[in-house]
A and B are shown apart, each in its own frame.
Chain A
Amino acid sequence: MFNHLLRWGLLFPLGLFACAAGAAGPAAKKITYDDHIRPIFRQYCLKCHDAATKKSDLALDAYATAMEGGASGEVIYPADLDSSRLWLMVNHEDEPSMPPNADKLPADKLTLIRTWIEGGALENSGSVAKAKKPNGLAMRAPAVSGKPAGPAAMPESIFRQPVVVSGRPAATAALAASPWAPLVVVAGQHQVSLYHSESAQLLGVLPFPEGIPQVLKFSRDGSLLLTAGGRGAALGLAALVDVRTGSRLVTVGDEYDEVEAADLSPNQALIALGGPTKVVRVYNTADRSLAYEIHKHTDWITAIAFSPDGQLLVTADRGGGAYLWEAETGREVATLRGHPSEVTDACWRADSQIVATSGVDGTIRLWNREEGKQVKSWTAHGGGTTAIAFAADGRLVSTGRDRVVKLWRPDGGHLKDLTTFADIGLAVCISHDGHRVAAGDYTGEVRLLEVDSGKQVGRLAANPPTLAMRVTAAAGQVASAQSELKTAAAAKLAADKRLAEAKTEAGRRSAALAETQQKLAASQAARDAMVQEVAARKEAIGAETEKVKQATIRLAQATTTVQAAEAALATAAGDGADKFTAATEGARQALAGVEAAHALLKRAIAAGAEAEKKLAAGNQQVESAQQAVKAAQVAVDRFARPLATVTAEVAAANRQATTRQAAMAAANTALQAAQAEQAAFAQADETLAKAIQKTVRQAEAQAQQLAKAKSLQKKLAAELATRQAAAQAAKKQLAEAKKRLEQIQTAVQATATTAGEQAHSTAALAVAQQKAEAAAAQAQADAEMFHKAQEVRAAYQKK
C-alpha cells in the first residue's frame, strides 16, 4: 500500500510537468537552473543568499550550493514540491515567508520555480531528471511487532473509583492507546482513567498519588503502562503499572521537578525520563539503578522515545535540540538539526526507520535513523504542533495550537481534518487498529473519534465521577426511566383508545361512501338508458326526415307533371284534360304523402326533444351523484390522515414503551453494577483495612513472640553463662575433685545441651523476624499506596 501511494506521489507531479511542458512548446521544454531559475534568484534572493552573505548558510547563486541547502537542511527536493522548503517559503506556505516583508513573487516566476522543482530541479539544458531521491519514507523493515502471545491485556480488576473529582478538568496532559487492545488511557489529577476505545466505557482508574501524570506510554506488548509526572518544582518520577490488575510494579526517578518526558524500552529493561532539570536519566527496571545519564541538553527535556526495535533513543528539548542515542549505552548517534525552537513531541514509526518530531515552529519533521537526516518537513499546525502519534501502518495523527486534529499520509500528505477543538489541542493517540483517534485539548475535553467517518464516538473524561456519584446517577436514571416508562404506558393507553375511536369513525365514513357510490351507479345506469333512448329517437327523426324528403321529391315530381299537364291542357284540351286530371291526382297524392310524412316527422322530433330533456335530467342526476361520491371520498380521505397519525402515535408509543422498558432494564443493570462495584470497592477497602489490621496484629503478635523469644534467649544465655562458669570452675577443680567427676560431667553435658538449644532458638528467631519484617513491609507498601490515594482523595474532598 505504501509503495502504491509513493508511486502515485511520484508519478503525479511528473505527469503534470509533462502536460505543462507540452503546452509550452518544445522550446520551453526544460526549465533549468541556469536558464530560468538563477535569474529569478538573482532578482529576489541573492542579496541575502549568495556565497558572500549566505544568510542562514544558504547560497542560491550556484546550483551545487542551492541543492546543498542551508542551516535547516536541504531546501530543494527534486520532483518533491511539498518537501522543498524553498518552495513553501516563496509560496508563503511556511514561515518565514520569502522574500522577507514583501509580497509574493509574481505568479509567472512562481510557476517557473514550481515547474522547475517538479521537473526534477535540473541544472542546465544538458541535465536529465534523475530518479527521485529516495527520502526514506517507505517502510523498509518489517515492523517489530511485540505482539503478546495470549490475549492482549485489558483491565480486569481495577476499580473505577477516581482519586480526585473536580468541577472542571485541567488541560489534557497525556493520552495513550494500547498497541494491541481497544484501550485508551487519559491522564487526570493524581490518576489515569482507562477507557474502551470502541465503546468509550470507563474501565478503571489508576491512582497516581504523587501528582499529575504528564506522560503515558504503553509497553510494546501492551501489558504495562508507564506513568510519569509528579509535582512541578517538587517531585518527578515514573511508575510502571500492570494494565490487568493496576498494581504498581516499579517506581523510578527522584527528580526535583516533574517528569515531562519518559519512555519504557521495548524489552522493558530501561526507563528513560527527563524534565525541567535538563538531564535525561535512564534507569534499569530490574533493580531501579541508574543505567546512565545524558547531560547534553541545554533546556527542559520535552520528548523521549525508544525505537520499537530497542536500539535507539530519541530525546528532545525546549530549545529545539534533538538527539539520537544508543539505547543501551547512551552513546550519541546523531543530532537532529532543524527545529528552531521547542520540540514538543517525538515518536517512532513501527519499523524503527523513521522518527518524527513536532515543534512549536508548527512543523512535523521526519528523520532517518542512520544519520539523523531530515527526510521530510511540513508545517502541520499554525502556531505550533503539540503532539503526534504514528499509527501501526505509518499514518500520522497530530494536533496543535490551531485546535485541529489532523491525519497524515505516511509521506506527510494531508489526509483529513478529524475535529476542531474549542481551544488548543494538546494530546493525541491512535488506537491499535487505526480506527479510533483520541485527542484532548486545553479545556480538558478528550474526544474519541472514528477515523473513517471523522465522527465523534464519545468523550473520555479525565475526571470521571466517583462510584457513589455513579450509583446516585444510576439510581436517578432508574427513577427517571421509571417515570418515563409510566408516562409512555399512559400515552400508549390513550393512543390505543383514540385509535379505536378513529377506527369506528372510519367504518362509518366508509359505509356512507359505499352508499353514495351505489347511488351514483344507479344514476349512471339510468342516464345510460336515457342516452340510448335519445339515440333511438334521433335515429327515428332521421328516418322520418328521409321519408319527408322522399315525399317532397315525389311532390315536386307530381307538381312538374301537373305543370306539364296544364301546359298540355292548354295546347290540347281533350287528351290534355285526362292527363291533367291524372297529374293533378298524382300531385294530390304526393302532397298527401308529404303531409303525412311531415306529421310523422313532427311527432318524432317531439319525442326526440322529450328524450333529450330526460337525458339532461339524467345527466344532472349523475353529476350530483358524482359530487356526492367525491364529497364522501374527501370525507373518507380526510379522516384517513388522522387515522394514520394516530396509528403512528400508537406505534411510537409502543416503541417508546419498549425503549423505556429496555432503558429501565439497562438503568437497573447499571445501578446494580455500580452498586456492586461500590460494594466491592467498599469491601476491598474493608478487606485491605482488615488485612492491614491483621498484618498489624500479626506483626504485633510476632513482635510479642519476638519479645518472648528474646527473653527466653536472655534466660538461656544467662543459664549458659552460669553453667559455663560452673563448667569452668569444674574444670579448674577437675584435678583435685576427682570424686565429684561424674557430677561435674553431667553438668558439662547439660551445658552443651543448653548451648545447642540456644543456637537453634537464635536461628528460629532470625527466620521469624525476617518473615515478620517481609510481611510487615509488604503490608506497609500496600497500605501506603492505598492510604496515599485515600489521603489525596480526602484532601481534595476537603478542598
Chain B
Amino acid sequence: MLLKTKIPMRPAVGLLALCAAAAFPTTSLLAADEPAWASLTVYPPAVNLSTRADSQRVIVVATRADGVTADVTAAAKLVLVDPAPCRLDGPTLRPLADGQTSLKVQWQSLQAPVVPVTVTQATADRPISFMLDVMPVFTHAGCNTGSCHGAARGKDGFHLALLGSDPRGDYQRITREQATRRINLAVPADSLLLQKAIGAVQHTGGKRFGTDSAYYQALYDWLAAGAANDFDKAPACTGLTIYPPAAVLEGKGTKQPFIAVAAYADGTTRDVTSLAAFKSNNASAASIDANGLVTAAARGEAFVMARFDVHTVGSQVLTLPKDLQYTESTEKPANYIDTLVGAKLRKLRLEPSGLCSDQQFLRRVTLDIVGLLPTTEEYRTFLANPAADKRAKKIDALLTRKEFSEIWAMKWSEILMVKTIPNRVEYKPMFLYASWLAKQIADNVPLDKIVRAILGATGGTFGVPATNFYQIEPSTQKTAENVAQIFLGQRIQCAQCHNHPFDRWTMDDYYSFTAFFAQIARKQGEDYRETIVSNRGSGEVKHPVNGRVMPPKFLGGAAPDVRGKDRRQVLADWVTSPENPYFATSVANRIWAHFFGLGIVEPVDDIRVSNPASNPQLFETLGKKLIEYQFDFKRLVRDICNSNTYQRTADSNASNAQDLRNFSHARIRRIQAEMLLDCISQVTETQNKFRGLPLGARAVQIADGNTSNYFLTTFGRAKRNTVCTCEVDTQPSLSQALNLLNGATISGKIGAGKVIEKQLEAGKKPLEIVEDLTIRCYCRQPTAEEIQKLTPLLGKEEKPLSQLQDIYWALLNSREFLFNH
C-alpha cells in the first residue's frame, strides 16, 4: 500500500492547545485536600418489624461534597428514641414489644434523617413457611440455577423450576416425586435434601451451606414441622429494594455493604440480604459477595444486582482511585445532553476529549444524517464559511434532505423485517409496506402515530400496508415478543418458558402480554397476494403450566378493559402513550445509538434491570424530550448533533482512554453496508442497479430485505430475519478486506466512473486531482507528508492516469475511508 492509513486519528495536539487556551481549567487536588463530608443517610428509610424472629440491619452511608460515599455504619452512633419496642444488636434492629419508635443516627457532626421504626406482633412466632423461608434458600444457594437442578431436565435426576418460578412443582418434586428418598420426616437431619446440601454425601454441586447456617436451619425447621406447603396462605412478594441506591467508592479495596429489603402483599417488609442472590455486571470494577458486600477494585463502574423471588433490582457503583488528580472541564455545555453527559463524566473523574475539526465534523455529520460523503464543493463552502453557527446551520440543512428520511425508513424496515417471504409475503404488499413506511418518515409523521398505525392496523395488506406487520410474523407469541423488542426495547422471550432470570418479566407477564395478539384474524383477499388482517373478537391465551386464561395486561402495567375493543388498538394506545415508560426512551436510545455507534443501553433492544443505562438520567431525559417534541425525532437528532458530546474528536486523553460507555470521546465506526456502497458509488460517480429500483438508486432505498448483492452481504447487511438490531453487522472481516482489495467493486467502479479521466481532460494537474480525491474520500486536504511522498510517484507524465488510479484505489481501500470518525 502506498498510503499510510490514517486511523486512528492523528494526535490532536493543536486542538488540545486550543482547548487550553480557550478554557481556564481549575485543578483541584482532591486527595491532598479532601472535601468535607456533606450528608449522612440511613438505609432503609423506614423499618417495619413483625413477629419475633424478624430483624432489619441498617446501613449508614456518608456522602462527600464531591459525591464520594463511604460506609460509616460501624463508626456512627445509633440511638433509639424510645427503646421499648425494639433493641439494637449492632446495626440490626430486633423487636421487643409492639409500638413505634425512631432511630437517630449521628456521625461526626452529621445527623441523618430520622428512621421511623414500627413493631407489630413482637412476641408472636411466625410459623415456618415453604414460600417465605424454604424457596428463597434454593435460589440463594444456587440449587435452581440453569446449570444445576434448574436445568430443563434437572440434574442427576432431580429437577427444580428455574430460579424458583414454580413453587408448586418444586414442592411436589421435593416431597412426593421420590417419596422415600429426598426428605425424611421421621429423622429430618437424615433427609437427602439436607445431606446433599451440606456436602455430607456425594453431591455434584458440592457443599452449599453448613449445618450452622440459617439456610440449614430453615430447611431443617420446615422438615421437622412436617414439610407442609403454604402456596395460598403466604403473602406474595411484591417488590424488592436494594440499598444504598448508588455508591461512589474511592480507593481499591474499599467496602460497602448492601442490603436488600423485600416487601410483601400483607404490608410487611423483610430483610432478605441473606436470601437474595447478588451479582455484579463488572467484577473488575466492583465485586459483590453472597452477603451483599461490595469491594471496590479497578477504576470503573459496575451495576450490582440483587435477585429475590421474581424481582431483580440494581444499584450503580462507581469506583475511583484513591489519590486521583482530576481537572474538571470548564467547557460550556451546548445543551442538556452535554450537561448530563458531563455530570456522569465528573462522577467518574473523566475528562472529555476536545471538539473535532470542521473537516471531521462535516464528514461525520453528513455520513450520520444523510448516509453520504460531503462533496468537494460542499467541503469548500463549509470550510470557507466564517460563521460561528455554521455547524448548526449545516445540521439543519442536512436534516431537510430526503436522504435523511431514507436512512430512517431503512432502519425501521430492518427491525420491522420488511422483506418478501415465499408463500407468505409477496413482493407487492412488501413494497407497499416499505413505501408506506418511507412516506411516513418523509412526511415527518410523528413516530407514535406510525407505531399506532402499525400495531392497530386492520385491513388488507394492499390497502393498509401497515397490516403487513402481522402478515410477516403469523405467530401470536412471536408477534408479542417482536412488539416488546421493537417498540419497548424489552426481550421477553425467556419468559415464554420460565420467569426471566435477570429481569422482572414472569411467565404471567409474557402470556398476559401475548393475549393482546390472540384475536387477530387473517384471511386471503381477492388478490391472492393480499391478506386481510382484522380483529376476530375472540380467542384467548392460556398459561401453559396451569391452563389459566390470561387476561391482556400491559408489560409492567395495568390490565385494561378490552371488552368489545380491538385489543391491539388498546395496546397501541398504551405503547405510544407518554405514560409508557419504555417506548419513548427505547426509541430515543435507538436514535442516539445511530449517532454514537453505541446506545446508552446497549444492545438497544435489550433494556432490562440487569442491563442498565450507562447514564440513566440522560436515558430518561432523551425519552422525555422525544415526548416533549411530540415524537418528531428530527428535533432530537438536531439536539444530539448540536451537542459537544457528538462533536468530540475520536482521540482519547489519558483519563478517558479506557472509557467506552460514557461518550467522553467519539467512537470510530465502520460505515454500514448500504451507506458504504452508496459512498463508494458517490465518490466514484458510478451507478448501481438493484432489483425493483431504477438504475442509480441508492442501496439505502432497497425495500426488500431479500434483495442484496455480494458487496452488501459481505459487509453485513441485515437479512431482516429477526427484529434484532444485531442483524446489522458492522464488524470488519477478512472477506470484506479481500472484497475491497481484489474484488470488482473498487477497481471496477474506479474504471467505470472515469473520475480521473474527466478531471485530466478538464486540464487539472495531477496534484490537484490528488487533492480532489482526498477531499472526496476523507473530507480533508492531503497533508504535506502525503504530498511529498506522492509527488515522485506521479512522475513526470502530464496525464499519469494509472498512477492516479492507484492512488485512488489506495484511498478507497484505506481504513480512513471505511470508517466514520
Complex Cα gap A462–B12 (Å):
87
Tell me the minimal C-beta distance from B366 to chain A in angstroms.
Answer: 59
Which one of A31-39, A165-173, A201-209, A665-673 is at the interface? Answer: A165-173
Does A424 sit within 8 A of B, measured CB to CB? yes
Is B192 part of the contact surface with A, judged by Cβ < 8 Å? yes
Assess whether A171 is in contact with B195, with CB atoms less than 8 Å apart. Answer: no
- Whether A796 contacts B185 in the complex (CB less than 8 A), given A232-B195, A234-B202, comes out as no
User: With a CB–CB cut-off of 8 A, which chain B residues contact A234?
Assistant: 195, 200-202
In the complex, which residue of chain B has the Cβ closest to the Cβ of A318?
Answer: B157
Contact of B186 among A164, A424, A426 (CB under 8 A): A164
Which of B186, B189, B202 has a CB less than 8 Å from the CB of A444? B186
Is B185 a contact of A171 with CB atoms below 8 Å?
A: yes
A171 with B179: CB separation less than 8 A: yes
Q: When the two chains form their complex, are residues B179 and A256 in contact, meaning their CB atoms are under 8 A apart?
A: no
Interface residues of B in 171-203 (CB under 8 A from A): 175-176, 179-182, 184-187, 189-190, 192, 195-196, 200-203
Knowing A166-B187, A232-B181, A232-B192 touch, does A424 contact B201 (C-beta < 8 A)? no
CA distance A318 to B176 in the complex (A): 15
Residues of A within 8 A of B203 (CB): 233
Contact B157 A168 (CB under 8 A): no
Are B186 and A170 within 8 A (Cβ)?
yes
Contact of A300 among B157, B175, B179 (CB under 8 A): B157
Query: A152: shortest Cβ distance to chain B, in Å?
Result: 29
* Minimum Cβ distance to chain A for residue B221 (Å): 14
Task: Say whether B226 faces chain A, with CB atoms less than 8 Å apart.
Answer: yes
The number of inter-chain residue pairs (CB within 8 angstroms) is 72
Interface residues as binary, A244-274 with B (CB distance below 8 Å gives 1, 0 otherwise): 0000000000001110100000000000000
On whether A233 and B185 interact (CB within 8 A), knowing A300-B157, A424-B179, A426-B180, the answer reads no
Please measure, in the bound complex, the distance between the C-alpha atom of A212 and the C-alpha atom of B196, giving whole angstroms. Answer: 16
Contacts of B202 in A (CB 8 A): 233-234, 256-257
Asked whether A444 and B184 contact (CB < 8 A) given A300-B157, A318-B157, A426-B179, the answer is no
| Docked-complex contact A169 and B157, CB < 8 angstroms | no
Contact of B201 among A168, A212, A232, A799 (CB under 8 A): A232
Contact present for A189 and B184 (CB under 8 Å) = yes
- The docked-state distance in angstroms from the alpha carbon of A438 to that of B202 is 35
Q: Which single residue of chain B is at the shortest CB-CB distance from A425?
A: B179
Docked complex Cα distance between A799 and B176 (Å): 25
- CB contacts (< 8 Å) of A463 on chain B: these are 186
CA distance A463 to B176 in the complex (A): 20
B-facing residues in A54-104 (Cβ within 8 Å)? none
Does A170 lie within 8 Å of B157, measured CB to CB?
Answer: no
Which of A170, A173, A257, A386 has the largest count of B CB atoms less than 10 A from its CB?
A: A170
Contact with B along A147-172 (1 / 0, CB 8 A): 00000000000000000101011111
B185→A212 contact, CB < 8 A: no
Please, which residue of chain B has its CB at the minimum distance from the CB of A233?
A: B201
**CB contact under 8 A between A444 and B185, given known A170-B180, A232-B201, A424-B179:** yes
Q: How far is the CA of A442 from the CA of B180 in the complex (A)?
A: 8
Taking the closest CB of chain A, its distance from the CB of B188, in whole angstroms, is 9
Contact assessment for B157 and A189 in the assembled complex, using a CB-CB cutoff below 8 Å:
no
- Cβ-based interface call for A231 (8 A): yes
Chain A contacts for B179, CB-based, 8 A: 171, 386, 424, 426, 442
> Which residues does chain A contribute within 8 Å of B156, judged by CB atoms?
276
Give the size category of B's interface with A. 20 to 34
Complex Cα spacing A234 to B156, Å: 14
* Chain A residues with CB under 8 A of B192: 232-233
Q: Which residues of A contact B180 (CB under 8 A)?
A: 170-173, 212, 214, 426
Is the Cβ of B185 less than 8 Å from the Cβ of A276?
A: no
> Given A168-B226, A232-B192, A234-B202, are A189 and B187 neighbors across the interface (CB < 8 Å)?
yes
Q: How far is the CB of A702 from chain B (nearest CB, A)?
A: 40
Q: Which residue of B lies closest to A172 (CB)?
A: B180
Q: Which residues of B contact A462 (CB under 8 A)?
A: 186
Complex-state Cα separation, A259 to B371, whole angstroms: 72
Q: How far is the CA of A211 from the CA of B185 in the complex (A)?
A: 14
Q: Which residues of chain A are within 8 angstroms of B189 by Cβ–Cβ distance?
A: 799
Q: Which residues of A contact B176 (CB under 8 A)?
A: 401, 424, 442
Q: Known contacts being A234-B202, A799-B189, is A170 close to B184, with CB within 8 Å?
A: yes
B518 to chain A, nearest CB (A): 16
What 1/0 mask marks residues of chain A from 449 to 475 whose CB sits below 8 Å from any chain B CB? 000000000000011000000000000
Kindly list chain A residues whose C-beta atoms are within 8 Å of the C-beta of B184.
170, 189, 212
User: Please, how many angstroms separate the alpha-carbon atoms of A214 and B202 in the complex?
Assistant: 19
| CB neighbours of B157 from chain A (8 A) | 276, 299-300, 318
Q: Which chain B residue lies CB-closest to A300?
A: B157
C-alpha spacing A168/B201, complex, angstroms: 24
A104 to chain B, nearest CB (A): 18
Cβ contact within 8 Å between B196 and A796: no
CB <8 Å contact, A233 and B187: no
Contact B186 A169 (CB under 8 A): yes
A171 to B227 CA separation, bound complex (whole angstroms): 12
Residue of B nearest to A170 (CB): B186
**B149 vs chain A, min Cβ distance (A):** 14
B187 adjacent to A796 (CB under 8 Å): yes
Query: Separation in Å of the B148 CB from the closest CB of chain A?
Result: 15
Tell me how far the C-beta of B136 lies from the nearest C-beta in chain A, rounded to whole angstroms. 24
Within the complex, the shortest CB–CB distance from A210 to chain B, in Å, comes to 12
Of the A-B pairs whose beta carbons lie under 8 Å apart in the complex, a sample of 7, sorted by A's number, is A170-B180, A189-B186, A232-B196, A257-B202, A299-B157, A318-B157, A424-B179
Q: Which B residues have a C-beta under 8 Å from some C-beta of A? A: 156-157, 175-176, 179-182, 184-187, 189-190, 192, 195-196, 200-203, 226
- A: which residues have CB within 8 A of B? 164, 166, 168-173, 188-189, 212, 214, 231-234, 256-258, 260, 276, 299-300, 318, 386, 401, 424, 426, 442, 444, 462-463, 796, 799
